Chain A
Amino acid sequence: MGKVRADAGPFARRPDNSAFKQQRLPAWSPSLTPYTVLPVFYFLALVCVLLGVWLLITVQNTHQLKIDYTDAGACATCAEMRNDPTKAKMNCDCVINFNVPKTFQGDVFIYYGLINFHQNLRRYIKSRDDDQLVGRKNSLKSPSSYCEPFAYDENAVPIAPCGAVANSMFNDSFTLTYHPPAGAAVNVPLYRKGITWYTDKNVKFRNPSTNTTLQQAFQGTAQPPFWQKPVYELDLDHPNNNGFINDDLIVWMREAAFPNFKKLYGILNRAHTTFSYGLPEGNYSIAINYNFPVQYFQGRKEVVLSTVSWFGGQNHFLPIAYLVSGGLIFIVAIVLTAVYVKVGRSGKNMEE
């Protein structure tokens, strides 16, 4: 029985003559004529190629060096030792020598890389408790069910940090030494702190608040089963780099996207005069405390030294992508031009 319109005259039901209701809204229709399209194509091609060239030049100025130490040289024995469950807990050190052919100018980043380590498995990703990692007391005592089966140890003591991610933390450590052509070997100084996202270190990861020592804060928790030391003793050199806010832990807890990945280990400290311009060319050795087993999953371990450009590490893909795209667009533009010219002629013929 609806409302009776006030203006119930003879044309009461006449629709409104508004542009919207009559579907006559002013509209722009992209015209598909050669004169509008072809310039766009050529322009795009040019932009892509130019950007590509520029990026390529930038990338060429970066350096990267990978040293696979899984079973290289002296580390072969360590690898075998890790393969043997009975000797799993035994300490093993090895040294690997390598050569830096060209000076790494600027900031040099030292990464550890893992090949074939799937940090991105669905169940693995979930196996952590963010509440625990921000230091909530409750979660410390009763970790989230996501951490299962690494939430409690066999004695039903809650594990801190719980979950598979923390449990599988990479625990090799490196010491880099520079052997200058003349003079004594110099230990390459590394920043081992400040390698995380600021927000991670200050927001996402907090230690349980305590008035006493960190150890007491973690009282009543167990260390993850694969760990050799408790969480509050991760960095013995820096007392405030322990617990959940340990940089190595934070870096590890940021799960890598691909099975082959690298994670930041340290940044060259350029305060030292020898390294003020970066990493000089020459011979180096790296002493590895070899703990992390990779043989079970056909994995590899490596150390990566790299400088970065303004858009990331040494990666030739993006410049090439730009160049290739630019080229393709150019080809398409030429094909289109050819077709237009041909059709245009026949079109003219048709008109005539």
Chain B
Amino acid sequence: MAREIGEAGDAKSSTIKKHKRKKTKKESKTRIVHANILYDHAKGGDNPNRHYANNKIKTTKYTLLSFIPKNLFEQFHRFANVYFVFIALLNFVPVVNAFQPELALAPVVFILSVTAIKDLWEDYRRHRSDKEINHLDCLVYSRSERCYVEQYWKEVRVGDFIRLRCNEILPADVLLLSSSDPDRLCHIETATLDGETNLKQRQVVRSFIDLDAEFDPLKYNSVIECEKPNNDLNRFRGYIIHRNGRRDGLYKDNLLLRGCTIRNTEEAVGIVIYAGHETKAMLNNNGPRYKRSKLERQMNVDVFWCVIILLVMCLFSAIGHGLWMYQYGDKRPVFDVLSPEGTDLSPVVSAIYLFLTMIIVFQVLIPISLFVSIEIVKICQVFFIHQDMELYDEETDSHLQCRALNITEDLGQMQYIFSDKTGTLTENKMVFRRCTVAGVEYSHDANARRLAMYQEVDSEEEECLSHGGTLPRRESLCSQHSGKVVLRSQSTKSHRRTGSRAEAKRASILSKHTAFSSPMEKDITPDPQLLDKVNDCGSQMEFMRFHSQLLNQIPPDLCDVFDFFIALTICNTVVVSSPNQPRQKVSITLQKKLRQKRFRTRNVMKSSKKYLDGCKDSSSLTTNRSSSQRACSSMLSSPSAESTLTKLNEEHFPGQGLQQAFSPVPPNYDQAKASAPDKCELRYEAESPDEAALVYAARAYKCSLVGRLPDQVTVELPHLGKLTFELLHTLGFDSTRKRMSVVVRHPLTEQITVYTKGADSVIMDLVRPPSGNELGKRQRKILFKTQNYLNLYAADGLRTLCIAKKVLSKEEYAGWLRCHLEAETAIQGREELLFESALRLETDLHLLGATGIEDRLQDGVPETIAALRRAGLQIWVLTGDKQETAINIAYACKLLDPEEEIITLNAESQVQPKLFILPFLVHRLGLVIDGRTLAYALDKSLEDKFLAVARSCRSVLCCRSTPLQKSMVVKLVRNKLKVMTLAIGDGANDVSMIQVADVGVGISGQEGMQAVMASDFALPRFQYLQKLLLVHGHWCYSRLANMILYFFYKNAMFVALIFWYQFYCGFSGSAMIDQWYLIFFNLMFSAFPQLITGTLDKDVSAETLQELPQLYMSGQNSEEYKPYMFWMNMIDAFYQSLICFFIPYFAYADSNVDLFTWGTPITTLALFTILLHLGIETKTWTWMNWTSIAFSIVLFFMVALCYNASCPTCYSPSNPYWTMERLLGDPLFYLMCIITPIAALLPRYALLHLTVLRTLTIVFMYESVCKYSFWHP
């Protein structure tokens, strides 16, 4: 499916347009969908859905008829093609024509047809994949047979009812009407859409929630009115209008998208809303990205110079011809042929004609095959990068993907790397390390030992050469990334990740469906002290519950411990599943009870529905969570919030007794454990790894999350058994607030409680200890202690999160709820209002504790960074993390060096950054800047100073930066310093940075696919960046740069031969090289060797490139292709052409040689010279190089011999009959073949040796010392 989506891309637009045009007449703003079965008898005629696109997809661009015109039209969008066609057509004008017109068309036709065939083949593949997809089966309700029958996907129409079973792929965008799930939910996996592997919940449309019987399509008679098709995956709005006039809102939670997979749900029924090309998945397809590489930009400048040279040469010839004509005056010599009409041409007119002729003759200077060749070479390069074993990750079974096909060579020219930290440098495998609760630190030493063990196994297996640095106070981190050999040979590579890592791998393969669940993350060893406290707390609570005592008699620190773990367990969006049946939701006995409860809640909803139905405004379009909806409706339907709440209370817990809230399971801890229906381990699926880590941590303390529904969370606690929290609101995480909250009704205390989890910087500011009293004093103390521990954690490189809670009185809640509901129902600015609403709630918090989560560095990160650094790359780390954590990670991955002086910029206002003006004399500097200061630094007035400072620093670390700031930094550096930038990241917050940079690299890690989707290259691991840049980047760049230079040389050299001849033929535009050779020389005779060299040549071996990262600098400084090199090549080309021209000239001067008998040797000599030149440039000769060169020469002679022997009259006006045959019997020909290439290439060859020696490039020294033992063979 993913493939389909990928390929569907470009083709659909036209079809869509067509459909759209048709539709604009029929419908204005919305789409109205009726059930098809009502119209079955009418067979289309009056079916109101007939205008909508059906589900047949056609991603092909062309039909049989439209192929030729359409493809040609597309190809002529490329300027070069137009130019070449223009020149070919110019040949049809008799006055200026130079070649046989039909022949001149040949290369253009050849190039166009090669591209056309390629397009045709791609289109055919799309056609086949379309066909395959269109013929998938699905169950569609048939009125005539009164049951669901199998139909092909392509036969599905808008308005059809579809039955979907577990693990089926959705054929179209379907509105969920029924689900076998007791909660009327349907789980889908959206991996093919956004790559996120966690499950998403979808709900049955509200009107159909209450159906207890199976959904019967025949009874359906509602009409759906919804948005027109659009590509926003996260938005869907509409109404469903029932026959009785009732309207219900439809939200994105009701829509199942094409391409997703149904999970955890046995059966679901829905009605098709959007089909085929109008589905959101199809509308979201964007074709591959096109960027223009630096090299290509540089090349285009030189192509421009070639045009200038061409024009100069043509102009020179034209003037020369005019003068030549002029010198004869009125008396025309016999050999000066008049125009065909017999009229005299004035010198000026013939000069003008000649100018055009010369453009045709010299056209080869602008190489027609250059663009094609570059494309071919790039495709091959991409192929080889794809195939590299060392860029393949066994753990995830993924390899590098090149998503942008035409900027491979940019990889060899990078100067700045902007890296994200989390998930890029680190594994994004969050492991709970330690925590502090109520001011007491639990160091979790056993846990630390466990983690260290994982690491040891790793390092034992991976032979350890150097131990990473000596950093005091950072033992824990140092032990984690003991050094590894930077380079591993192929053989050791396969055994590399064994031991614990291998186990983890196996585990991850087994549990492929569940993210974030390697044993390392799951098996947390609890701290005994804390465990005691938890048990203690649990038993006390149990005791009190039985004695109906108030809970607040528990000592506050125990209470905090309890709340702390409750918060860890429920303050998240983790979904629970069971591993035995992957993706099957746990169905526990609890379910029954929940059903009862649900029934009650539903009553409330029903009562409130009336109000909502009456309320016709668009508030019903908002995408409320069901819990808040319910609250909303009850709230709105009753006169005061207070009474609603009490009513709710009553309905839920009529007896007010605590025991009601507990499960019927006997409240004995051990027994509860034994009788737990899910003996098997539960599996957690979280949106972010820290959430999972915290839930797993809580589970280690026997506080496990056992079930999550949209409106309630079930938690199993020691001694207390299962507790069900009613989930009133979830205020999701966002990067501005940097926290998330849940609002629940506490089952034990019956209080409305807010649990907040977030970055310490924000939470600590929000904590307000009550002033004065004992409690406040304690709080302040806790606050102080916690802050200390937080600093300690950060110093250890842990990610810190603070946990806080807040108890709301009913009045407070009601007051907030009112505002919140307004915000939720608001049409405009809903997001802002919700944000403000969240801000209002999250104040005056009570700090519970803090956690330290460890995010382990990825394999080989320090080594990679060191290597990249030695390669002259500036590495900046841009992270959203807090400063201390970031600095520590930076130390750990050797970005910062302990010897470095670190400048920390933390400005409070714009005035402060005077620092920027400080003279920096220390030679090793690291710059650390936080988000707030960055905002000032990115200001127009300061950005230059900021850059000046940043440039003088060895490393730059930006902490607490927002996604926007990240992209601004990249943009600033890229634009101001005029450098090549690479951004690498893995998460959605890196997308903007990835898009701004010259090359964006996505880590296909655990945080979804947004970064990968936006990237040009997707890597499985950060350390692969080393090989990608240092080896492949270098190769791609040097190969392509050399090939382009060679191309320019080759064409200039060839064309110059003809130019010199103009001095001997009165600048009349005649060529001694036969038209066939002239036209096919580039296309056939000299094309293959350079393609092979451009694809396979290795100027330096992969091993050397990795061992000596300094070699990468040649690409950074564009040393392979500097502007002067173009001119050097041009000069060399002119020199070589002079030799190739004048040796035959003098050898045959004053003889009876005829034009082609003289011109054919020149062609041959030019071919030999050009191939030998390539040979000099080729650094490694594989059998393919030999073959291609031999093939070129053989091909030339074969073609020449056949051509010269075939027909004495066919190739008018030129007639080289039997020339080559005769030449092969001429000793002079062979004598010239020996001397000319030698003389032509002597300077280049000699100079090559001299430069190699004089500059003593590192490569040469290295290779000669190591391999050839320079002076002692």
Contact = CB atoms under 8 A, between A and B. Distances in A.
A is bound by B: yes
Interface of A: 1-2, 10-17, 21-23, 25-33, 35, 37, 44, 48, 51, 55, 111, 113, 117-131, 134, 136, 144-146, 148-149, 164, 167-168, 197, 199-200, 203-204, 226, 254-264, 293, 296-297, 299, 310-313, 315, 317-318, 321-322, 325, 328-329, 332, 335-336, 339-340, 343-344, 347-348
A315 B1260 contact: no
Interface of B: 1, 3-4, 94, 98, 129, 132-133, 328, 331-342, 357, 384, 386-389, 392, 394, 397-399, 490, 509, 1064-1066, 1068-1070, 1072, 1096, 1098, 1102, 1143, 1145-1155, 1157-1159, 1179-1184, 1208-1209, 1212-1215, 1217-1218, 1222, 1226-1228, 1231-1232, 1234-1235, 1238-1239, 1242, 1246, 1248-1250, 1252-1254, 1256, 1260, 1264, 1268, 1270-1271, 1273
Contact of B340 (A15, A120, A148, A322): A148
Interface centre among A124, A129, A259, A322 (most CB of B within 10 A): A124
Given A15-B387, A264-B1152, A130 B357 contact: no
Nearest to B1211: A130
A257 B1253 CA distance: 44
Contact of B1250 (A16, A258, A336): A336
A17 B389 contact: yes
B341 A149 contact: yes
A125 B1208 contact: no
Contacts, number: 275
A340 B392 CA distance: 44
B1152 A261 contact: yes
Contacts of B1183: 25-26
Contact of A10 (B397, B1215, B1256): B397
B17 to A, nearest CB: 25
Given A23-B1096, A126-B1213, A199 B1218 contact: yes
A37 B1098 contact: no
Nearest to A119: B335
Contacts of B1153: 256-258, 261
Contact of B1182 (A12, A25, A124): A25
Contacts of B334: 164, 167-168, 226, 293, 296-297
B384 A29 contact: no
B1238 A122 contact: no
A134 B1209 contact: yes
Contacts of A199: 1208, 1217-1218, 1222
B1270 A347 contact: yes
Contacts of A296: 328, 331-334
A15 B392 contact: yes
Contact of B1152 (A2, A26, A200, A263): A263
Contact of A339 (B1064, B1242, B1248, B1254): B1254
A227 to B, nearest CB: 12
Given A15-B389, A17-B389, A204 B1215 contact: yes
B1249 A336 contact: yes
Contacts of A321: 1143, 1146-1147, 1235, 1239
| Among B328, B336, B1250, residue most surrounded by chain A Cβ atoms (within 10 Å) | B336
Contacts of B1098: 23, 27
A128 B1213 contact: yes
Nearest to A41: B1246
B320 to A, nearest CB: 13
Given A16-B387, A27-B1181, A37 B1249 contact: yes
A254 B1154 contact: yes
B334 to A, nearest CB: 4
Contacts of A113: 1150
A13 B397 contact: yes
A313 B1155 CA distance: 17
Nearest to B98: A122
B333 A297 contact: yes
Nearest to B1144: A257
A34 B1032 CA distance: 31
A221 to B, nearest CB: 18
Task: Give 4 closest A-B pairs by Cβ, nearest first.
Answer: A148-B340, A122-B1070, A297-B333, A126-B1213
B972 to A, nearest CB: 37
A149 B338 contact: yes
A315 B1151 contact: yes
A313 B1228 CA distance: 10
B402 to A, nearest CB: 13
Nearest to A329: B1242
Given A10-B397, A136-B1209, 11 more contacts: A11-B397, A14-B394, A14-B397, A15-B386, A123-B1068, A129-B1212, A146-B1213, A199-B1222, A296-B333, A325-B1238, A344-B1271
B1239 A1 contact: no
Contact of B1180 (A27, A261, A310): A27
B82 to A, nearest CB: 26
A25 B341 contact: no
B377 to A, nearest CB: 14
B1253 A26 contact: no
A25 B1187 CA distance: 14
A311 B328 contact: no
B1147 A315 contact: yes
Contacts of A31: 1264, 1268
B1209 A130 contact: yes
Nearest to B1065: A120
B487 to A, nearest CB: 14
A325 to B, nearest CB: 5
B1228 A318 contact: yes
A14 B494 CA distance: 11
B56 to A, nearest CB: 15
Contacts of A15: 386-389, 392, 399
Contacts of A32: 1248-1249, 1252, 1260
A256 B1149 CA distance: 11
A121 B1154 contact: no
A128 B328 CA distance: 24
A14 B490 CA distance: 14
Given A1-B3, A130-B1212, A318-B1231, A21 B387 contact: yes
Given A121-B336, A121-B1068, A130-B1212, A311 B1217 contact: no
Contacts of A22: 387-389, 490
Given A167-B334, A168-B334, A260-B1150, A48 B1238 contact: yes
B3 A2 contact: yes
Nearest to B391: A15
A318 B1147 contact: yes
A17 B337 contact: no
A153 B163 CA distance: 89
22 contacts: A15-B387, A17-B389, A17-B490, A21-B387, A22-B388, A22-B389, A29-B1179, A32-B1260, A33-B1268, A118-B335, A123-B1068, A130-B1209, A149-B339, A256-B1153, A260-B1150, A315-B1146, A325-B1242, A328-B1242, A336-B1249, A343-B1256, A344-B1271, A347-B1271
Contacts of A164: 334-335, 337
A113 B1102 CA distance: 63
Nearest to B1246: A332
A48 B1236 CA distance: 11
Contacts of B1235: 48, 318, 321-322, 325
Contact of B1151 (A118, A119, A254, A313): A313
Nearest to A145: B340
Most A CB atoms within 10 A — which of B98, B1068, B1070?
Answer: B1070
Nearest to A121: B1068
B335 A317 contact: no
Contacts of B1065: 118, 120-122, 259
Nearest to B395: A10
A25 B1066 contact: no
Contacts of A2: 3, 129
B508 to A, nearest CB: 10
Name the residue in B1159, B1260, B1271 with the highest tally of chain A Cβ atoms < 10 Å from its Cβ: B1271
